[in-house]
Structure 1
């Protein structure tokens, strides 16, 4: 059974929160973020206010996948991780 858009948003926020809390992550998590964002971007139930945030998260995941030091990449985005989760809570 596929995840609904709210479940996808919750999963997205969970991964971002884990990256924020743990200051580390995996390429597989970045790939999961990428898949979630792609799915949410084409979902008509997602408000236009969330889409710029999703684009930023997509860029974050792409840079993480291609980063030679993923933990450093996550640490350098720590402020954004927190802000994205807060913004998604406000807008969704």
Structure 2
């Protein structure tokens, strides 16, 4: 059974919040973020205003997966992480 849109958004925000607060994460978390964004982008009932945020989050996850220094990548993205979560909260 697929996860509902709201549950996917909650999970995505939870991972991004953890990255923002802990300044660390794992490649598997970045891969999960990538999968969540791909799934969300296919949802018919996704608000169009969320798509630009999700595209930025997708690029963040791609960079994290390819990074040799993931925790530095996360730390350098702290402000964006906070902005993305706040934007998703306002739009959902």
Would the TM-score normalized by the shorter structure come out above 0.5? yes
2:22 paired with 1:19: no
Name the TM-score, length of structure 2 as normaliser: 0.98
Render the CA deviation track for 1:39-69: whole Å, top value 9, x for unaligned.
Answer: 0001011111000000000000000000010
Q: Quote the Cα distance in structure 2 between the aligned partners of 1:45 and 1:11.
A: 17
Task: Structure 1 unaligned segments of length 5 or more: list them.
Answer: none
Residue of structure 2 in register with 1:78 after alignment: 78
Return the structure number with greater helix share. 2
Number of matched pairs: 92
2:55 paired with 1:61: no
Q: Quote the Cα distance in structure 2 between the aligned partners of 1:2 and 1:39.
A: 10
CA RMSD between the two structures? 0.5
Residue of structure 1 in register with 2:4 after alignment: 4
